[in-house]
Structure 1
Amino acid sequence: MSSISANSIHAKFASDEDYEPNNKNEKSSNSSQNTLNIQNVKLGTSKSSIESLEHIPISISSTHNGKYQDYQIPVSPTLSCTTVSSMIDELRTESSFPDIIDSTHKLFDPNCDPENPIEVKFDEVLSARSIIQESIDKTPCKKSRLSSMCNMEIWFKKDYLQYTGSFKERGASHALLKLLANREKHINSQDIINPKYPIDFEGVIAASAGNHALALAYHGQLNNIPVTVVMPKYAPIMKINSCKQFNAQVIVRGNDLTESKQYAMYLAKIRNLVYINGYDHRDIIAGQGTTGIEICEQMGQFDAIIIPVGGGGLIAGVAVAIKQLRPNAMIIGAEAVRCPSFTNALKAGKPTHTPSYSSLADGLAVPVVGVNAFETAKNIIDKVVTVNEEHIALAILRLLEMEKAVVEGAGACGFAAVLANLVPELIGKRVVILLCGGNIDTSILGRCMDRGLAADGRLVRFKVTLLDRPGGIAQLTNYLFTVGVSLKDIFHERAWVKNDIFSVDVKCVVETKDWEHTFLLKDGLKQRYPNARFEDLEDKMMISRPSLH
């Protein structure tokens, strides 16, 4: 029996008037033989008549406003009431969430007040360490084989090896355990220990592009706390599905994290949920800072640490710990050039909105850095650099090939800064780099591999003009075979050729071993085909050459 994908369902509101409860009951009594009622859901047909219809009409009562929404489910030959009913819970849940935010509700997160930012202290990080030590893995910090390539002693802190694939577990576990501890103290003492920790709540909610949502869902499940996560439209499918596997309620709303955050705060207000900011809540920052304590325990002395920067919670917490335990170590942040919100905040002297564009480092695409994170980190960070997409892709490729580590774009941003030669002052130094996330979609991973190979000069495209006669292509491919390159793609173009009518343009994509192999191919082709043209070759060389010096 096949099931129906939610993507195959076309939803539409009643065009003339909404279904009212009394209308629903009237219709149900008049057509009871053709209607299946399941908790305010009406299927407007019977099992025997399904195959004769093109669509199955469904009306669902919204728990938000009591109105009815119509759904049309396409019919397939194997469809039955059983498979339709399997979608009811998901449809009803989706219909229960309001499409727009009621403007009469004032949205404010008391834990992240722009007028009164909080500077997280080292004793909070130390306290977080003792609270979460039983629920968080102590991840390895190992010397990298890439050290000689980069002319510095690189040590990777591999926090992507946490159970849910990112460092976010540290902050999520800490925040949830503090909530539970405060409620337990209140029950025992009949007194509110900390007014900023609610006592009576129905669950927790957060806005996240993926990793914070995953961590909160997982630790919420472990501690029997209901979790709702609001994810922006660009959130990877893998992260959305993983959150559902941890029994979290997932809502996809917003074009960026700012819009998702507004919606999450609205739901928190109307549904008695505790909103937990994934990068700016002081307990989150303190929890992330435990990474810094671990590094100091594992490493001894080191000269610098490079930390990916999105909302600022990780670099703020780690910087607090490092400056306390290794005051002479440089702290360098690395963020994606497609959303340099921390760089802009430093220039403006305060968090400021930064346009966010799609990026391989989707986890760092936070338009406005956290006010607490910025207040904590602004005076103890030594440098912040921005990394382009090509170097992020190259970093993912290097880590996969050399370290056997599958790391997402956001997690690889620190290493990308080294490959981009953005930290030349660290040459010859002992450097720790945080690999903080490994949740990358398999489809995105494939694209990253191609981009990384192209940036590394190992995936090359060129165009040559040949005589359009038998044997022309054979001669070209025979030369490629002789040089030892692998032909990945080939395309013939006859209509838009500017030469004589007997010519054809041939576009090729080939894979080489390295830059030397690429230039051997280029020189040979130029000798045989003076019109051979290589696209973007010089630009690509400039991208990966710093990592070869």
Structure 2
Amino acid sequence: MLSFLRTSSRGSRFAIRRASAAASDSYFDPNSDPNNPKNLSLAEIKQAYERIKDGILHTECKKSEYFSKLTDSEVYLKKENKQRTGSFKERGARNALMRLAEQQQKKEVFIGSNRNYATAMACHGKQLGIPITCVLPRFIPLSTISLCKDFGAKVVVQGINNTESRKVAFELAQKSGGEFIDGHDHIDIIAGAGTIALEILEDVKDVDVIVVPVAGGGLLAGITAAVRELSPKTRVVGVESKASHCFSEALKNGKPVNVRTRTSLSPSLAMSRFGYNSFNIIKGTPTEVAKIKEMDLARAILIMLENHKFAVEGAGALAPAAVMTGQVEDIQGKKVVCVISGGNVDSTMLGQSIDKGLIADDRLALVEVFLPDRPGGLCELLELTSSTGAKTKHIYMEHVFHKFDIFTVKMKLEVVTSGMQHSEELRKILEQRYGDDLSFHMRKMRAV
């Protein structure tokens, strides 16, 4: 079953922002009760691990030579992107479904989510013989719809963000007598996420810091619950995108509150509220928070691709971005583990993410030049550009929309360089030739 909610096509980016700003809980989930939040014990996490260990991967926690050298510390990457469906969500999904099976309740499960939780539930629902209905936001990648259906799940496309999709899933479960399982705050989901900490502490002895991406809070809460019992000296640092800051707002207000979210490199980060159970679990534990800009997130995605040879989604790049930008303090000479939560990059957006990363790393410049509209002008510009070893990526021509006469053309070049020094060399060469007719744009350089 596949159904769509019709919405206006005017400015999808702004539609998302409006809906996110207004998003709030309009249903009551008894498994995520603000007045009676649940706690999580180490015993429950260990039980979850015994329950799921034969159905998920014990992912590697490998030292990163690049980040270790950059930070003068030992940095390890916990690669949850290596799970079958590409994210840590499999742990919680399998644990929650197996708990239902133990209770002899193999009734239909309804979930509202973006890609990671939906595909994890669809995959493990098929393995365990439990029917799954995935309610997905309207702007979900088409590949996610296909993947969920390939696993045998029913798919409903409704809502323009995770909050709306979860509400629809909850209502469908209520009407049909099925089971609604929240992908961020259900206690069995959190316990499954906490099993990551058991593997980290087994694989990396005497770890000093674990850096964890944060959206709805389940991953952070699960890891915190395990680490504070097994390794109380280990710091757990939560990292969130500045586009979605529900964790820091919850800490600021002393409780989860609804916040305005913005579009992000990873849709899974756009959570309007931190989980009630998750907040209750971490409450009272010393908590550190790092906030990452979207450009730094793009740079981290690029660096992971270039230096570690695999793609990560925005949420998966949060922890490396925090370490890379120095927002995790006091790590010199220490053992640091970055949780790579997922690697499900929307293939239609990967190129744009890479370009944003190149800009953030000062390796992509925009050159604007006014030239006489006659043969040879563009050829000369390209020869000057290539003489420095720079690579022209895209060329744009504007014949009319500029301030000069019809015999002038405005050329725009996107140029790839090796970095700031190389870009400065190119700028000087072009400036000597074109003078005031040149504008040169880079992230750390004003237009000149």
TM-score with structure 2 length normalisation? 0.90
Aligned mates of 1:446, 1:271 — CA distance in 2: 42
Counterpart for residue 174 of structure 1: 95
* Equivalent residues in 2 for 1:122-161, closer than 5 Å: 122-146=42-66, 147-161=68-82
- SS of residue paired to 1:431: strand
Pair 492,212 (structure 1): closer, same or farther in 2 beyond 3 Å? closer
Deviation at 1:428, TM superposition (A): 3.8
Residue in structure 2 matched with residue 202 of structure 1 by the alignment: 107
Give the Cα separation in 1 of the matches to 2:221 and 2:311.
Answer: 25
Deviates more, 1:207-216 or 1:500-509: 500-509
Q: Does 2:16 align with 1:111? A: no
Distance 1:252 1:501, change over 3 A: closer
Q: Do the aligned partners of 2:364 and 2:442 also contact (CA within 8 Å) in 1? A: no
Aligned residue in 1 for 2:331: 426
- When residues 312 and 533 of structure 1 are mapped into structure 2, their CA distance, relative to the original with a 3 A threshold, is same
Q: Aligned equivalents of 2:43 and 2:446: distance in 1?
A: 47
Given that residues 239 and 439 in structure 1 are in contact (C-alpha distance below 8 angstroms), is that contact kept between their aligned partners in structure 2? no
Task: Tell me by how many angstroms 1:326 deviates.
Answer: 1.8
Q: Which residue of 1 aligns with 2:153?
A: 248
- Partner amino acid, structure 1, of 2:162: L
Q: Does residue 1:389 correspond to 2:294, yes or no? A: yes
| Contact residue 457 and residue 537 of structure 1 kept, 8 A | yes
Deviation at 1:492, TM superposition (A): 2.9
Q: Distance in 1 between matches of 2:239 and 2:52?
A: 27
Tell me, in whole angstroms, the C-alpha distance in 2 between the residues paired with 1:372 and 1:503. 63
Alpha-carbon separation, structure 2, partners of 1:348 and 1:250: 37
Rg larger in structure: 1
* 1:414 match: secondary structure: helix
| Matching residue's letter, 2:113 | S
1:288: how far off? 0.4
**Aligned residue pairs: how many?**
425
Task: Give 3-state SS (helix, strand or coil) of 1:411's partner.
Answer: helix
After superposition, residues 435-454 of structure 1 pair within 5 angstroms as 435-454=340-359
Note if contact 2:73-2:331 (Cα within 8 Å) is conserved in structure 1.
Answer: yes
Q: Per-residue deviation at 1:206? A: 1.0
Alignment of 1:316-331 (within 5 A): 316-331=221-236
Equivalent position SS for 1:110: coil
For the 8 Å contact 1:337–1:386, the answer to whether it is kept is yes
Alignment map for 1:30-69 (pairs within 5 Å): none
Asked if 1 retains the 8 angstrom alpha-carbon contact of 2:264 and 2:294, the reply is: yes
Please tell me the residue identity of whatever aligns with 2:441: E
Which whole-Å CA distance do the structure 1 matches of 2:402 and 2:140 have between them? 42
- Kept after mapping to 2: 8 A contact 1:460/1:511: yes
Quick one: which of 368, 376, 390 aligns to 1:485?
390
Q: In the TM superposition, what whole-angstrom CA distance separates every residue of 1:111-146 from its partner, at most 9, and x where no partner exists?
A: 111100112111111111111111111000000132
- Percent of aligned positions that are identical: 40
Answer yes or no: is the 8 Å Cα contact 1:142–1:157 preserved in 2.
yes
CA distance, structure 1, for counterparts of residue 240 and residue 285 of structure 2: 17
Q: By how many angstroms is 1:10 displaced?
A: 12
The whole-number CA distance in structure 2 between the counterparts of 1:320 and 1:260 is: 29
Question: CA contact under 8 A between 1:341 and 1:369: conserved in structure 2?
Answer: yes
User: Which residues of 2 match residues 269-418 of structure 1 at below 5 A?
Assistant: 269-418=174-323
**d(CA) in 1 for partners of 2:200, 2:446:** 35
Separation in 1 of the partners of 2:421 and 2:237? 33
Structure 1 residues 328 and 540: alpha-carbon distance in aligned structure 2, compared to 1, 3 A threshold: farther
| Match of residue 62 from structure 1 | none
Question: 1: distance between equivalents of 2:399 and 2:158?
Answer: 47
Q: Kindly state the Cα deviation for residue 353 of structure 1 after the two structures are TM-superposed.
A: 0.7
> Greater shift after overlay, 201-210 or 396-405?
201-210
The 5-angstrom pairing of residues 438-477 of structure 1 reads 438-477=343-382
The 3-state SS of whatever aligns with 2:226 is helix
The 1-side partners of 2:399 and 2:122 are apart by 56
Which of 200, 205, 211 pairs up with 2:116?
211
Query: Is 1:537 equivalent to 2:431 in the alignment?
Result: no
Q: Is the alpha carbon distance of 1:525 and 1:356 closer, same or farther for their aligned partners in structure 2, counting shifts above 3 Å?
A: same
Gaps of 5+ in 1: 1-5, 12-105, 184-198, 542-549
Please tell me whether the aligned partners of residues 211 and 239 of structure 2 are also in contact (alpha carbons under 8 angstroms).
yes
- In 2, the alpha carbon distance for the partners of 1:469 and 1:164 equals 54
Cα distance in 1, alignment partners of residues 5 and 280 from structure 2 = 46
Could you tell me how far 1:317 is from its partner in structure 2? Answer: 0.2
CA distance in 2, matches of 1:427, 1:419: 12
TM-fit CA distance, 1:222: 0.5
1:524 aligns with 2:407: no
| CA offsets 1:246-282 (integer angstroms, 9 cap, x no match) | 1111111112222111111111111111111111111
* Residue 536 of structure 1: how far off its partner (Å): 4.0
Which residue identity does 1:446 align to in structure 2?
G
The Cα RMSD (Å) is 2.2
Deviation at 1:504, TM superposition (A): 3.3
How far apart, CA to CA, are the structure 2 residues paired with 1:409 and 1:293? 24
Larger displacement relative to structure 2 (388-397 or 149-158): 149-158
Equivalences for residues 185-200 of structure 1 within 5 A: 199=105
* Deviation (angstroms), 1:501: 6.3
Structure 2 gap segments, 5+ residues each: 7-25
The answer as to whether partners of 2:5 and 2:158 remain within 8 angstroms in 1 is no
> Which amino acid in the other structure matches residue 154 of structure 1?
V
Residue aligning to 2:172: 267
Q: Contact 1:284 / 1:313 at 8 angstroms: preserved in 2?
A: yes
Provide the rounded CA distance (Å) in 1 between the counterparts of 2:154 and 2:178: 13
SS in structure 2 opposite 1:142? Answer: strand
The AA in structure 2 aligned to 1:151 is D
Deviations 1:276-326 (A, max 9, x none): 111111111111000001000000012211111011000100111112222
Measured after TM superposition, the shift of residue 180 of structure 1 is: 0.9
User: Deviation above 6 Å: which 4+ runs of structure 1?
Assistant: none
1:498 & 1:172 partners in 2: Cα distance? 59
